[in-house]
Structure 1
């Protein structure tokens, strides 16, 4: 347990906020990489810590490709987040 406590203390000192309970239900779907090095992902998250849980869909795209991507030493990926209604799981299962 001491290995977990040290980073926790450091993170709490960096953020300057009190400890907060986070309860998230997450379902991730990952595709194989087509154009880039990294696969793209679609994640469906539900924040269970809220009085009325709400859903979020997060799409993390594949890595940037092309001449510009070869000139930088980091991986750049697009991230798009959208709020969704409670029937989002039925939608995800239906679309496959």
Structure 2
């Protein structure tokens, strides 16, 4: 019989190093109900309802900060206006530890 015992575990916390990630910040039309974020290569990243203040911050993987493979589509479920599309979106780099989303 083999017996393992862990006497101590001290994880190393890198508190001063940044945690870089991508963000797409948007101010949306009040008539839109949903925002769809798609990787142009065919992958849906996220779908969000538009909040009352019309501002969204969508956290995306870091890879989208070095390429422009995102497409943002604003959908109007009430059909009051046409949908809006922004193609070739590149996310901004943020330090997740110090980031405050728009209010």
Q: Could you say which structure has the greater relative contact order, defined with CA pairs below 8 angstroms and 6 or more residues apart?
A: 2
Larger-gyration structure (1/2):
2
Question: Higher helix fraction: Structure 1 or Structure 2?
Answer: 1
Higher strand share: 2
TM-score, normalised to structure 2, is 0.29
